Structures are given as structure tokens and as C-alpha cells.
A and B are shown apart, each in its own frame.
Chain A
Amino acid sequence: MIDSTPILQVRDLDIRFRINKKEEPFRAVKGISFDIPTNTTVALVGESGSGKSVTAMSILGLLPENAIIAPSSQILYGGRNLAFAPLSDMQRIRGKEISVIFQEPMTSLNPVFPVGDQIGEVLRLHMGLSGRAAKERTIELLNEVGIPDPKLRVRSFPHEMSGGQQQRVMIAMAIACEPKLLIADEPTTALDVTIQKQILDLIASLQEKHHMSVLFITHDLGVVGDIADTVVVMQNGEIQEQGTVSQIFHAPAHPYTKALLACRPRLDRRPKRLPVIDDFMKGDGKPNLEPRTRGLKEGDAVILEVKALTKTFFLKEGLFGKRAVPAVKDVSFRLRKGKTLGLVGESGSGKTTVGLTLMRLHDATSGEVLFEGEDLLKLTDKEMMAYRRRIQIIFQNPYASLNPRNTVGQILVEPMKIHKIGANERERVEMAFALLKRVGLSEASFYKYPHEFSGGQRQRIAIARCLTMKPDVLICDESVSALDVSVQAQVLNLLQDLQDEFGLSYIFISHDLAVVKYISDEVMVMSNGEIVEIADSDEIYLNPKQEYTRKLLSSIPKGLETQAA
């Protein structure tokens, strides 16, 4: 159903950003060209820093003040070059003919105005509807995007709605004036996987109904497989390849496209090591996909046992009262030595709280955590010190888990000093160097500061920091969720190598079911503080017993698997 005449054509788009007087401006988009046919969904795919968002925003002229668009760039729409159109013309097009929805719905809505007014504003501006008519139309729109009892919801404020509902409001606002082109800049990345599925279906149905074109920006190839008609793959500001969905998925020409397809862990297979970009760019392009067996065997020793663990937070309320908010309710499970226990659940399911309570970063309300027979919760702080070394944690946000004011050297040496590992300074520095090499970083990084590393490298430093204390158990709290797919693969491989080599036991907490399936031997599904189901990772995916697990598994974007078949 791809028509011939493109609604928008991008020709030699070249965008640079001024950093400061002296340095050369940073070239984000390097002369790219592509078309957006009418009534089609074009997916603009690439990792962070590939320039996909900048391209999308340049169409509507929403670039930051320090952006410089090269004179040769052309964004042809309705016979005019939008790149240099006067602001007044752009304001007539924005929201009327071309509209946009953003990644963070929570912050994209004005917190102090009711949602009804914010939608009404577009209608009054572009459609000239008066108060009453605008209100009616708004209620229709809210109904169309699937918001329950819209008459009431019109007057509610953004903070009174869930993430999913807020994105629906954004969509309603975008389609209010029947635009010809909708730009969606990673609309579902910040949402839970179940909600993500509903929003994607909504966008697809609205595209169908209104015959409008959609420019869908994402880094997740699974989503592309589900929703896109044509695909444009971008890397470092250049277009590596573009074509129809089936062409890209079946016969990828460019090695980078092949690498992207391969790195993403797939539900239907589990290679010994995940393929990485270098296998394609440098190597022969054929990663070994020899499968790795997962699962628990009878004889595996138990290193950590958790019995009836509960954690309740208390909020001040009323004159003296306290409101109890149970986060973890009576959770019990066992971690086998040298194995990985996956902990899966949506945000708010309590999975992170379990991890932090194990580490005593939160004080548990009740329950036991048995480690080599000792109940960690009952120990005094001094006694706990000995065990502190044995259980360590890697956090989600690579940019916040390292102290920006210390060098990598100081970060690695500090735990050794606290736990008196290594006789003297020289020995500790040597150990640090060895660890840096082991996690794949150069020795020179010893002297560098965190802000000089990429997200992936910082997670490697965090891992090295844990290894300095030779831990037995490592809790990975969403450790790879914030990374790009290709970098994600490298870190997962590193974790897998360390487990194979040192027999570390992992508790791998994540909302990304595909990653959890790849790396875990046993998977535990949680929902609002309780365990829904525990089973071997293959077992749980093949025939999930609980309704909630089935619903969770069904909402994983399976674009990769279906297209590949």
C-alpha cells in the first residue's frame, strides 16, 4: 500500500552544533537523503548518537539555538523547503499539517493546565473552534485514543494520569487537526512493555484510519518489525541502508544492519556468546551461534536463600498517622552457586527493592536472608562488614553510579582500602590494572574521570569495582537497560565470561524479558510485591502457567522473530 508521491523529501540534510568559540562545531547529521511516502510508516532506526532525533526535529525546526543547518540541506514539503522557511510559516504547519509526540510524556505536558485545555488549545489555534465546539471535539479525541470516561478526564491534570494515558493525550493532541505527517520520537521507550504494546497498536490503527504518514524514530528493531513499512538505518549521522521492512530483515546489505539485527537477544535462540558489532564490521560477518544450555540441575549447591522477605515503606499522613505502602510481600527463593536467577516484572513490582533489601541498603521489615548459614538481616553493622564484600551490586544508570569527582583509579582502590585487600598501595594499583584489562579497558583509563567514558565503559568500571572485593554474589539491577543494543551485547558477554571463569552467582533484575531469557538459568516473575511464578528460563517461556506471565510474554515485540522466520 506504498503510494508513489512522497509527502516529504529530505535531500543532503547536514546539521552542525556550535559548542564554543574555539572548538570546531560537532557534525551530527552528515548530508542524508530519504523520502516519506504518503500513508506509510517510515522507521528511522539507529543507536544513541546516530542523529535520528536531530533529523526528526529539524523537519519542524525544533532544533536548539546552537544548531547550524548547512545551506545545501533541503526538506521539501508541499513544494517548499522547510529547512529555511520563516518562523511564521512554520507555526502554521506545526501541529496542523505535521505534528510530533515525544519520548517523555510526563514532562512533555504542561503540569499546571488540565489536559482538556492543552488539547483544546491546538483546536482553537488551527481549527478556529470556539469554546464549546473545542470541548466536544476534545472529548471525541480522548475517546478515540482510548482514554476511559473522557468527560471526567478532560479536567484532570497530567500528574493524575499514568504514563500510558499521558502518551495517549499527547497522541490525541497530535492528531487533533488531522495532520498529514506524524513524527513519533521514541514514544514507547519510557513505558512498561505491556503499555508499550497498546500504544504501538493505537498508532498503527490511527495511521490506518487517518491515512497519514508516520516517521517512527526508535532504537528497538523488535518494534520496527511490528510497525514499520519502510526502514532507514542511521549510524554516526549517516544513512547506512534504507528499504522495505522485509528487504532489511531478510537481506540486510550493510554489515552494520546485520550487526544490529544479530546483537539483540532473541527469544527463539540463545547463542553461547551474543554477536557483537565487531563480528560483522571486522570479522567475517558470521558469528558462531552455537547454542548454550541453561537451566538448573539437581545437585547445584544453594549459595543464598531468602525466606518470607517483606519490606513496607511508611509515609506521613494526617495529623500523626502513617500510611503503610507494602513494596515486597513475603518473597522466598533460592540462588544456586554459579547460576543466574532472572528477576522480571513491570515498574513498581518491587524487584529492585528485593535487590536493595538483600544488600541491606534498605532495612527489611521482616524475613531472613541466609548466606552460608548466616542471616544477614540480624547482623550488626560490624559483623556485616565481612559479608559486605561477598555480595555486590551494579546499578542501572551508568552516569550516576560512579562518583564524578574521583578518577577511575580512586574508584577501584577505595574498596580495597576499606576491606584491606592487598598489602600496600603498589599492589592495589597493580590489581586495579589487572581488573581494568580483564573488563576490557585500557590501563590509561586508571587516570581518567568517569565523564570521559561512554555508558558501556562506565558499566565495565562498575563491574571492575565489584570484582576488586572478589564477591560471590552479584546483583545486577537493570544493569544493561540504559545501554544501546550493541553495547548491551558486549556487557552481557562480559558478565557471562566472568560467571564461567569465577563461578559468580547473579541475580539479574530487568523489565526486558528477552535479555532475561538469554542470561538466566531460572526466572522469577514478580507483580506488585509478590512472586507470580518461578521456573527454568526455557520452561517459563514455552509454557507459562500464570495468566500474568502469559500477558507479559505476549507483549514482547516479536518483530525480529516473525520477520526472520
Chain B
Amino acid sequence: MKHPRFSLALIALAAALAVGPTHAQAKVLRIAFRTAETGFDPQRIDDRYSVGICENFFEPLLSYDYLARPVRLVPLTAEAIPEPEEGGRRYTFRIRPGIYFADDAAFKGVKRELTARDIEYSIKRFRDPRLRSPYEWLFENKIVGLDELAERAKKSGTLDYEARVEGLEVRGKYTISFKLKEADYNFLYVLAMPNVVPVAREVVERYGDDTMGHPVGTGPFILKEWVRRSKIVLEKNPNYRGHELDTRYANPADEWDRAAIESLKGKVLPALDRVEIFPIEDEQPRFLAFLNREHDILDETPFAFIHQVMPNGKLAANLAKAGVKVFREEQPELTYSVFNLNERQNDGVDNPVGGYTPERVALRRAMVLAYDRDREISVLRKGQAIAAQSPVPPGVVGYDGAFRAGAQDYDPPRAKALLDMFGYVDRDNDGWRDRPDGRALQVSYKYNAGSQENRQLAELWVKSMNEVGIRVEAEGVQFADLLKDKKVGKFMAASSAWTADYPDAQNFLQLLYGPNSGQSNEASFRLAEYDRVYERSLAMPDSPARNGLYREMNRLLLAYAPWRLGVHRIYNHLQYPWVKGYKKHPILYTNFKYLDLDTAARQAALK
């Protein structure tokens, strides 16, 4: 039968090719991403991985030092970090001359230098109704005159980019001065975000609707090749001026810093010629690909395989032999379950967990105590997470390590005692606790049906609540529906999460600020004392006094329990030995511009 011989030949051929094409001596880094990208127009994207790739195309005014921990702002396209003027309401920047955009047909062969005009144009793009920018809120009632311009644009449908905006004052070719409505000590962080970057107007107008596919910036890399949701290739930007590793803030005790300094000292960066990125949604293939040496770095090792990589905390023998290094990073993010504090859902359904009376607070506090968070961390996350003590994750300005939230620990007896005390007992002995006024108690918990992890978290929720006699029904909904239901208040309890946009506690605490209800404040938590303390904290720069106010807000959160605090996840990033200069930054998603590759070592390892 001729068939078997044919398949044998096929397998032999495949094995030979599986080694993959090795460019002569070009340094090609291959890495996989956890989810697919959407596009590369900085003002129009907000998903983590697209923004991460944009960090390599564009350059904001300020950025973060590669090695400094905790994180420190450093100037990038700006010459220096400006001192706040007029009581923190004005910042003036001088742009470093000689910074050029990458070549593009839109510039008609002429080398295009970065000017203040580009900064002004890019900030205005956030308020252009046609672009529907997900980060429009960054510049809402922030810059003097910008809101009025945006209002006019909404009516007419298009934004007038020529219009003068008082708060965006261009003083000459390289100088721009921002005037804020009120003092905002986090404004500098906003200017360091990878989205708040200058784009050339000619490029935007030339590609119109397809700006997602034509990122033209002053950054170290350019987009060479892009097969949507399958392969993204970056290559060195010929026009890039080059940069060096700044070792001022390096910490000699940190072995990552030492390794980075030793391999990158004195080199003109970026060292990599080419970066190939493969989005792989499924965990198993992404993990196996790294083990098969098809990729050089494995960012965010899937929890499921943690015991294969680090059996009881130590690197597995086979990986250690191959010289793999593990970088342990505490994510600046928070997972939490949010309760709807309105006494009625928006569709009129009565919501037993809503309300501020002691009776309702007791129910929420009991549910928080009844949730088995320890098992979530040990079984579901395999120990790769820290139990959150407050909304503010570690590594973020305003994080208080000494704050210990006893009220959020797993303690079923206290939960049962609290329920009995406030009259939540089983009256019609159907095995489920009823409400104090006799009506049946039925709480619905909404989660995103799309992922297996969410389903198991929901399973743990239902199991934990059943242990203490509360009847909970878990309802899986589509991702888009979950977002909508949480925004309009059509839920009782639901799963949620928040990643830091900029490294300040205020980015998390604003989630419980009363006026934000209906937007980021999904719980619609309206507590007068909390709001007063929050407003006072806005007007203060980072200081012990401000930390005191943050502590006050955390205590109010624990008392009224609008949330059940979840975890801050810990990610382990793996790299093969031939990847040099690796150090994961808490805020910046990618670090390609600081990496180097020892192609000879990789060549040997692949034999």
C-alpha cells in the first residue's frame, strides 16, 4: 500500500525543517503573546499587547528608567522633566532637536523632524469624535480650552485641528506648554504613557482609516511585516538616533541589573535587528513552543504549567540545564468581585446585596469572609498570586506594605456568625438561608463565559457560598454583555479586574469615587466621607500625608465592602541564556529596545 511510505518521507522532511530558518548573523528575537493584537494607532488602542508593541514605534515626552525600582520618570524626547509652575497647573517642555520620524511615503523623501506641533496635534486626536479613542478620559476636563473644542467637534462631527487651544501653547519649534484646569500631580505620568505619543499629521491624513496598519514614529523599531492575529515583525528603524543603557539608578545588589549592565554597557542600542511576535491564544501550544525552542522568551508562563517549570518554587532540572532564567514579577493589577450597591438592578429586579444599612453591609461582609481565597491562590493560581490587602498593588506609588486587611480573610465561622446575627437564617428549611424579612435569598454572580479560568473562579464562588448556606447562581455571559451589565448596574455580583494605566494609587482608588458611578465605579459606591478624602488626595503630590489619606480610604472600603478584594497576580517570565539584558518593567510592557541576542549560543543550543 503506497500510503505509509509517503507519510514517512513527509515526517523526515518536516523534522529537518523544524529547526527553522537561521539568518546568517542577524539577531532575531522570537516571542509569543497571550492574546492577539488589534492595531497600532496609539490614540485608538487600549489593549495591553498592541500598546506594548507601540512602545517600540513611538516615543512619549517622558518615560521610565529601565533599571530603577521603584519606578522613576526620566526625560525621553523632552530635554528635562519640567518643574510644575503656577501651583502645579502649568508644565513647559523643550523637545530635544534632531529627533526624526522613520521614513514613509507621506514625507515624500524628506527627513521629517519631531516638533512641538506634533505633540499638540496628537493630544487633540484624543478628543476627535471620529477616532472614538478609548483613552479620551485622560484629557477630559484636564487641559484648559480642550473640552470646548471637543464639544464643538461633537456637534459638527469633525475636530478642527487648526483651532487654538489655550492649554496647548506651542512656543516655537521645540517648546510646548500645558495649562491645566486644576493642579494634577499625576499629569507627568500621563505624558509618559505609551499612548500619549506624537504622530505625524501627514501620515494620519494619508492613510485615513488604515492608520492601525501604518505606525510611523520616532522609536527604535518600525513595522516590517504584519499578518493580523498571526505574525508581527519589527525591524531596526534606520532613522533612529540610538540610545544607551542609563545605569545611574541601577541597584548593584540586583543580579538582573548587573547582568544587564555587563552585557549592554557602552553598546549603541537597540541591539536586536529583528523581532518576530506570534499571538497564541491557547496556553498549551504557547508553552510547548517555548520548550521546543521555537521561541526565545516565554512571558507570563501559564499557571497550568507552573509545576512543570518550578516544582515547589525551584526551577525544573531540564530547564536549569538549558540555562533558562526566571524573572518573577508582581503585576501592578488587581482582580476583584464587585457588588452592585444599588438596592435595585437597573431592570427593577430587587438586589439583596445592595444598600448601606448594617444589615446589607453584614451580608456583603459575610460573603467576603466566606469566599475561599486561599484555595483560589493555591489551586487555581498554583501559588502565583498575592492576596490583595487593598486595591493598590505593590510597585505602585502610594502602596502601603504594612496595611493588613483582616476583614477580607477566609473565615467561614465568622461569616456564619455574622449571617445568623443579622437574621439571615433558613426559615422555610429548604437548606438555604433566607432574608431577614422572610423572602428567599438568591444572589446571581455574572462572569465572562469565554474563558475556562473564569468558569473555574465562578465554580469556586458558588462552592464557597454554598458552604455557608447562601444560594448563588453563576451566570456566564458574553464579554461585551458583562461590560454593559456592570456599567448600567444590571447585576448583583460580578467578576472584574483593573491594570494600572500609570503607577499611582489614585488610578485604582478612583474606581470607588462616587461621581465615577456609571463609568469606572461599577459598584456605584457613593460614600460621602470616601469622596471627600479622595478629592483632598487629588490636590496633593506624593507624600506621607497623601498616603495617610489613602489609608483612610482603604479602611472605608473594608468597612462597607463594595468589593471583595481578589489578588495581585505573580507572573514568571522565562528566557533562554542567549537573551541578554532582560529585566521586566512593571509599567512598560515590552523591553525589546534593551535586549541583545547571542546568536552563536542559540545556534549551538538548537543542534
In the complex they form, whether A and B have CB atoms below 8 Å apart is answered with no
Q: Which positions in A face B, CB cutoff 8 Å?
A: none
